[in-house]
Structure 1
Amino acid sequence: MIFSSNKIIKIIKKNIEITFLFLLLLITISSTNIYNEKKVLIDENYKNLINNIYFQKSINEIFDNLVPRYKNIDHKISSGETFDKILNNYSIPNEEINQIKKKLNSDYNINNLQPNLEIKITIDQSNNKKITSFLFPVSRTEKIQLIRNLDNNLFEKKTIITNLNKKIIFKEGKITQSLYKTAIDLKVQPNVIIEFARIYGFQVDFQRDIRKNDNFQIMYEVFEDDEGKVFETSNIIFADLKLSGKNNALYYFEKKGSEGHYDENGKSVEKALMKTPINGARLSSAFGMRKHPIDGFNKMHRGTDFAAPMGTPIMASGSGLITRARWCGGGGNCIKIKHNSTYETIYAHMKNFARGIKEGIRVKQGQIIGYVGSTGKSTGPHLHYEVVVNGKKVNSQKLKLPSGKTLKGKEREIFEVEKIKLDVLKSELIIG
């Protein structure tokens, strides 16, 4: 026995690596068997737990509490959107939509949606997406609120009016890059900048007349709520664009029948046509003979081209009747306006027309009629602008236009008093 044991020990010592591998294999097999037995037991317990009805109820309760019961929606109205389309986008049931429409239609045309105003909706997600609250903007200062009465499941309506306070804002700045950027940096509202450019558009070419370090002043009205939030802007009551050291002050005169902006001598800035119908554009091709960029041969260019980014607004250079608003072959989308028996203007290569613009309607001077594009025979986004005088196309940049009215008599006396008041008000706002 001793011999046998010693012999075995010697054999193991001689084959130590094989012996070690054999033991490792035994341990691995044993461990795997134990793991598999326990895994089967764990899986069985897991299945029993998952299928347990009390466990399922507990999980459902937890997840129900994680998802908010009420969902708030703030939707800003875009141009062209309809009432039904907006609510359908949020998967609101037709029954709910019809109830809301029936309640609102009694005092407001819901098809007349004003862009950029917000509809606010609160939905009960646990109750078939029922609307609990609906706030509809009639205007910036008036809203209709519908609240669901949980007792009878009907909507109760009330009108909310926001009281506004008029405030005068004064801003001044030095133009370093562009008038628009300088004004935006001073927190002047974009629509006020557009109006500022419009009233100076009769006498100033914003691409060529403005130089670095020219100055401007602007005084305008805003309407705020009690918390100081600006709801809307109103008239520019004073403006001054100082070009190459020369002042060009304008005063707003609000007497009925003579409303508008006048220089310090009581002369209206409005002329038959604006100097340019687009702001911030570059004169890319002047009136006269040139080599056509597409046709490749010399021909008369009977208009003025203004290069500008795609989508830049185009204004009516004068008030008048739209006689054409359609596709014009090489001119792409184009508009023709008859201003009076003497003047007509043409605007070509538009990307599209502004909302509501069509043949047969009247437009006001400075009204946006379309947007810069590259339709028709065009090598890039630009506006092709033509002025027709007594049936003949002329160079718009050299055209001498008749000035607007000059205040006289009693109106001039009233204007002089109003001008002094505005100068005093400006001084007070500058002093602070």
Structure 2
Amino acid sequence: MRLASAFLCLGLLFAAPFAEASTRYIVKNRRIEPNQPLAVALEEAGLPPEQTTALIAALEGVFDFRKSRVGDQFRLVIREGELDFFGYRQSAVDEWQVRRDGDKYIGSKRAIEVEKQVALVSLEINNSLYEAALAAGEDPIIGMVLADVFAWDIDFYRDVRKGDRARALVEKFVSKGRILRYGEVLAATYEGESVGSKRVFRYELPDGKASFFQEDGASARKAFLKSPLKYAHVTSGFGSRFHPVLQYVKAHNGVDYAASIGTPVWAVADGTVTVANNTGAGGNTVCLRHTNGFETCYLHLSKYGAGVRVGARVSQKQVIAYSGNTGRSTGPHLHYALKRGGRYVNPLNQNFPRTEPLPKHLMADFHAKIAPMAQQLDAVSVAAAGVGAQQ
């Protein structure tokens, strides 16, 4: 809806120069429909074939319309029966234009001014991160950004409680006052009833790689993530259960997460792929071998991630597959199993160690760089406490 409104505003801008009383203009706004190539869409909008050919030729090398997507918007301005202007919008920062110049058509990509800002985001959770983001006037995608930052310590379905608070110092890419996307999280805190207080800072190491560390230099990373999915709830825990298909009590050597088909599945730790095929009852399955005798398996998948095959190395947080409903399954979900020393263990009650802390010789530089970020986070906290005291 916001894209359509923005395009309407552009239409008003386009219309201003075309208001000459002696010239007849026709403006047509359309969207690309399913299974509709651009040429067909233009034809159905009433553009003659020769003008369609000229229009697409003007954008050769500028935009390949074979990459058109359902929902893309376009505008035709017809002057005295001839195409005078064509605008094509794919996103808030991706717009192309064709203008008539005498007997020729000239195509170009419209320049969109984008500004990078660093801003504080404060969320109070009363129901979900999604609703908390909306209430704060933020794009709900910020919830996924924070879930990524705290993935080693917080399961954002099981661990979140009403009244929890999150704050983040984050990059925002803005155009005309509208958030296009979030960039890097520079610092973040989470204060939760079940997880306590978490506070992390992004720091770039001498090799150019960035990671998150706690204020004392301890790594925010752990050997294993708390969950193979960013958002999902457990529908069946570890241990014996009545099997819904086999209709008898059977050991359940893992946990089941509710997940719609196509939900990205993370590798919970660095590892090597040992299984990447259909295992019958387990459906499409990926298993990984990790260090210290750990193995993980992910079952009932719809498809595998790029490059996932037996023998391939994968990294923590790499998308190794997509959840599905294959094998002996009563509905879309992910079955996740963890082995330690060849024996199944409950993945929900494991306490994995953190990775290597920040080297001591970097601590002075680290504290100097995070000091201003810590002050900004604390300023929000103090301000919020002051408002509460006045009430």
State the TM-score, normalizing by the size of structure 1. 0.67
Q: Secondary structure at the match of 2:181?
A: strand
1:252 aligns with 2:232: no
2:190 maps to 1:241: yes
1:186 Cα deviation from its structure 2 partner: 1.6
Look up the match of 1:85: 37
Instruction: Please state if 1:228 is matched with 2:177.
Output: yes
* Displacement after TM superposition at 1:168 (Å): 2.4
Structure having greater relative contact order (Cα 8 Å, sep ≥ 6): 2
Query: Does 2:133 match 1:183?
Result: yes
**174-183 or 91-100, which moves further after superposition?**
91-100
Contact 2:266 2:321 (8 Å CA) reproduced: yes
The alignment covers a number of residue pairs equal to 353
* Structure 1 unaligned spans of 5+: 1-66
**Alpha carbons of structure 1 residues 68 and 367: separation in structure 2 relative to 1, 3 Å:** farther
Letter in 2 for 1:135: Y
Aligned equivalents of 1:341 and 1:119: distance in 2? 53
Q: Distance in 1 between matches of 2:334 and 2:28?
A: 46
Q: Distance in 1 between matches of 2:356 and 2:224?
A: 14
For 2:89 and 2:276, the matched residues in 1 are separated by 34
Are 2:97 and 1:133 equivalent residues in the alignment? no
What is the match of residue 286 of structure 1?
237
Deviation at 1:252, TM superposition (A): 1.5
Deviation of the 1:157 alpha carbon: 2.6
Where in structure 2 are there 5+ consecutive unaligned residues? 1-23, 385-391
Pair 121,253 (structure 1): closer, same or farther in 2 beyond 3 Å = same
The answer (yes or no) to whether the contact 1:133–1:148 under 8 Å persists in 2 is no
Are 1:349 and 1:372, in contact at CA under 8 Å, matched by a contact in 2?
Answer: yes
- Structure 1 partner of 2:159: 209
- Residue number in structure 2 paired with 1:164: 114
Specify the alignment match of 1:219 in structure 2: 169
Q: CA deviation at 1:112?
A: 5.6
- Opposite residue 368 of structure 2, the aligned amino acid is V
Within the candidate set 137, 148, 151, 2:100 is matched to 148
CA contact (8 A) 2:32 2:70 kept: no
- After TM superposition, the structure 1 stretch with the greater mean CA deviation from structure 2, 95-104 or 161-170, is 95-104
Q: Which amino acid aligns with 1:283?
A: V
The answer to whether the 8 Å contact 2:31/2:74 transfers is yes
**2:26 aligned with 1:69, yes or no?**
yes
Asked if 1:349 is matched to 2:300, the reply is yes
Q: CA deviation at 1:403?
A: 1.8
Tell me what 1:302 maps to.
Answer: 253
**Gap change, CA 1:163 and 1:134, over 3 Å in 2:** closer
**Cα distance 1:409–1:300, how it changes in 2: closer, same or farther (>3 A)?**
same
SS of equivalent residue, structure 2 residue 347: coil
More strand by share: 2
Task: Provide the identity percentage.
Answer: 25
* Structure 2 counterpart SS, 1:420: helix
**Structure of higher CA gyration radius:** 1
Specify the code of the residue in structure 2 equivalent to 1:106. Answer: G
Give the alignment's TM-score, normalised by structure 2: 0.73
Give the match's secondary structure for 1:73: strand
Q: CA deviation at 1:193?
A: 0.9
Distance between the aligned counterparts of 2:79 and 2:99, measured in 1? 16
Q: Does the CA contact (< 8 Å) of 2:133 and 2:142 recur in 1?
A: no
Contact 1:96 1:131 in 2 (8 A): no
Please tell me the residue identity of whatever aligns with 2:177. G
**For the Cα contact (< 8 Å) 2:229–2:265, is it kept in 1?**
yes
